[in-house]
Amino acid sequence: MKKHCVALNKTGQFSKFFLDYIEGKEALRPFYAHLPKIESFKAAIEAKKFPSESRGILHRALQSQYQGLELSSEVSFNLDSLLSEKTFTVTTGHQLNLFTGPLYFIYKIVSTINLAKNLQSAYPEYHFVPVYWMASEDHDFEEINNFKLDGKKYQWNSTQKGAVGEFLLDESFKAFLKSVDFAPDVFKTAYQSSKTLSEAVRKYVHDLFGDQGLVVVDGHDAALKSIFKPVITADLFEHIPFEQAQKVTQELEDLGFKSQIFPREINFFYLEKGLRERIEQSGNEFQVLNSEIRFSAEEIKVLVESNPERFSPNVVLRPLYQEMILPNLAYLGGPAEVVYWLQLKGVFDQFGVPFPVLLPRNFALILDKPVMKKMDQLGWGVSDVFVEFESWKRQFVAQQAKVDFSLKEEKAMLSQLFDKKGKEASTLEKSLDTAFQAGKVRSLKILDQMSAKLRKAEERRLLVELNRGKAVLEFTAPGGSPQERVINMMQFFLANPYLIEELLACFDPFDFKMMVLESK
């Protein structure tokens, strides 16, 4: 792939909040621990004192999670290396989208793998393991039950409830799978050989990235949740995370930065098979919303001790959970993720957990040959694709027009004529000036109508070029959304089985630009 770079602030795709963070604006410095630079990792390593007991728990949990899966030598080595105090992780996380969902799922993982490689070169005395955190406890099935390819939406409809990782790949899924018979074997094999969605996602992610040593972590694990018990108790009974997150959120809002997440007094869901619902306190009882489940204070304390896996953190506490069970140094996320982490540093500080280096994932736009041909015909460069179609169309038609359809001179002449004659007529009768002004308004409206007709005529003359531009922009931003947030990786992977290798060669986790990639 040929790589071009465009400054993120030239794409129109990113918030001021996010851009201020990656540009290192001083106002945001109190809200994170380390600048997003490779030099920051020396301090991050020194700050991360990860207990050997926790390493043992993590290692045993992952050995169990990978049971029955044939491991690559790279993953096997990385799993065992987690027992060493010299080993650290770098992590990204995402939902269990069908067939990977939008392209940026792949971009997140590729960025994380390359970060581990960069760190290995910069700090050879340590070992760095890239991690994909499966959001298996998420219950928003509507967000992950589909993917888009060649303008068509493929969707699995299911009546199952609860954490999506536990969804069974039942008859409805098998019927859905038949509708995507074009899918590569890596996906078919994973889905056909798995009982649950989380099992299938682990398999295809391992097949796609196992040779890069990527370790898949499922936080829905009783052993891992046992490490988190002090936080569960503090959240349920003292609402400490709520207080800290609210304080920092207010400080950010006072600086003019808009909140991305909204803390609650209790930031846990109750989780069991087929159910993931928020826990709320009502008097001396704890109730699980939309259910008949109730606990006294004593009962819920006992449950935390005996079954911590029943407590699923929301967006406020999931990052803290991740950092407590992994020897983690960095989190790579999208624009919204990066800025919501900034609301959470107070929570980390309260529990004495080091705040990781916060890095944006790489951002990319892939252009295929037909699109590049259209761009050449239009005389477009790579930065020209980050425009809104209607805005571009207005400018393009004005530049290419054979006639001045704005009728600017004609309108000025007409206005002067009516003004002059109205003033002359007013010497005869004062009301005539008003009549002339009314006539001017009517005449200008007629010229506006003629102007619109001329513009439409120019648009018809330039229809081939306009359709060409529209096709390019629909490819780069389907429905007005960035390509990476809409289309599935199979759009390119089916034609190019070396897509991931080429992305690995192009991505640089410390280069905060939009990469425009020309496919061969």
The residue with tokens 């061969």 is 520
Question: Locate tokens 């209790």: which residue?
Answer: 266
- 296: pLDDT confidence band, cut at 50, 70 and 90? very high
One domain, residues 323 and 455: no
Q: What is the pTM of this model?
A: 0.92
Q: Are residues 412 and 510 in the same domain?
A: no
pLDDT of residue 216: 98
Nearest to 268 by CA among 218, 304, 292: 304
Cα 348 to Cα 204: distance, rounded to the nearest angstrom: 33
Residue 180 has pLDDT above 90, yes or no: yes
Is 389 a domain residue? yes
Going by C-alpha positions, the residue among 276, 344, 333 that lies closest to residue 93 is 333
For residues 382 and 1, what is the distance between their CA atoms, to the nearest angstrom?
14
Collect all residues with Cβ–Cβ distance below 8 Å to 370 and sequence separation of at least 6: none
- The C-alpha atoms of residue 328 and residue 307 are separated, in whole angstroms, by 25
DSSP 124-143: TTSEEEEEEEE-TT---HHH
205 vs 215: CA distance, rounded Å: 9
SS3 category, 420: helix
User: Average pLDDT in the 254-282 region?
Assistant: 94
* Domain assignment of residue 430, yes or no: yes
Amino acid at 72: S
Residue 499 pLDDT greater than 90, yes or no: yes
pLDDT of residue 149: 94
Residue 336: beta bridge partners? none
Q: How sure is the predictor about 343, in pLDDT bands with cuts at 50, 70 and 90? A: very high
SS3 assignment, position 256: coil
Give domain status of residue 353, yes or no. yes
Element spanning 390, H or E: helix 389-400
Q: Are residues 31 and 127 in the same domain?
A: yes
Letter for the amino acid at 319?
P
Residue 2 is inside which H or E element, if any? strand 2-7
* Residue 512: inside a domain: yes
Q: Hey, what's the torsion of the CAs at 482, 483, 486, 488, to 10 degrees?
A: -160
One-letter amino acid at 472 equals: V
286 exposure class (CB count in 10 Å sphere: 0-12, 13-18, 19+): buried
Residue 260 lies in a domain: no
Whether residue 442 sits in one domain with residue 506: no
Q: What is the pLDDT of residue 107?
A: 98
Checking DSSP bridges between strand 152-155 and strand 328-333, what pairing results, if any? unpaired
Residues 319 and 430 in one domain: no
DSSP-derived letter for residue 492 is H
Residue 142 lies inside a defined structural domain of this protein: yes
Q: How far is it, in rounded angstroms, from Cα 134 to Cα 408?
A: 60
- Tens digits of residue pLDDT in 213-245: 999 999 999 999 999 999 999 999 999 999 999
CB 256 within 8 A of CB 242: no
Judgement on whether residues 7 and 118 belong to the same structural domain of the protein: yes
DSSP string, 266-314: S-EEEEETTEEEEEEEETTEEEETTSS-EEEHHHHHHHHHH-GGGEEE-
User: Are 150 and 53 contained in the same domain?
Assistant: yes
469 shares its domain with 508: no
Instruction: Find residue 2's DSSP bridge partners.
Output: 518
Determine the Cα–Cα distance for residues 503 and 483; give it in Å rounded to an integer: 15
Q: Distance between CA 51 and CA 246 in Å, rounded?
A: 30
**Does residue 147 sit within a domain?**
yes
Q: CA 243 to CA 237: how far, in whole Å?
A: 12
pLDDT digits (tens, 9 = 90+) for 424-458: 888 888 888 888 989 888 988 888 888 788 888 88
Q: Give the pLDDT of residue 483.
A: 96
For residues 3-31, average pLDDT: 95
C-alpha span between 61 and 182 (Å, rounded): 35
Residues 462 and 325 in one domain: no
Mean per-residue pLDDT for 139-148? 95
326 and 199 share one domain:
yes
Residue 240: CB atoms within 10 Å:
16
Domain match, 510 and 455 both: no
pLDDT range class, residue 56, cuts 50, 70, 90: very high
Residue 402 has pLDDT above 80, yes or no: no
Closest CA relative to residue 196, chosen from 226, 222, 229, 173: 173
For 393, the domain range is: 371-482
Q: Read off the pLDDT band of 137 (50, 70, 90).
A: very high
C-alpha–C-alpha distance, residues 66 and 51, integer Å? 23
Rounded CA-CA distance 423/468 in Å is 51
Contact 53, 69 (CB under 8 A): no
CA gap 469, 388 in Å, rounded: 10
Same domain, 65 and 92: yes
What sign for the dihedral angle of Cα 247, 253, 257, 263?
Answer: positive
Token code pair at residue 369: 């040959």
Give the pLDDT band (50/70/90) at residue 419.
Answer: confident
Q: Does residue 404 carry a pLDDT above 80?
A: no
Residue range 75-91: average pLDDT? Answer: 97
Q: Which two tokens stand for residue 396?
A: 């393009």
Question: What rounded mean pLDDT belongs to the chain?
Answer: 94
**Number of structural domains the chain divides into:** 2
In a domain, 256, yes or no: no
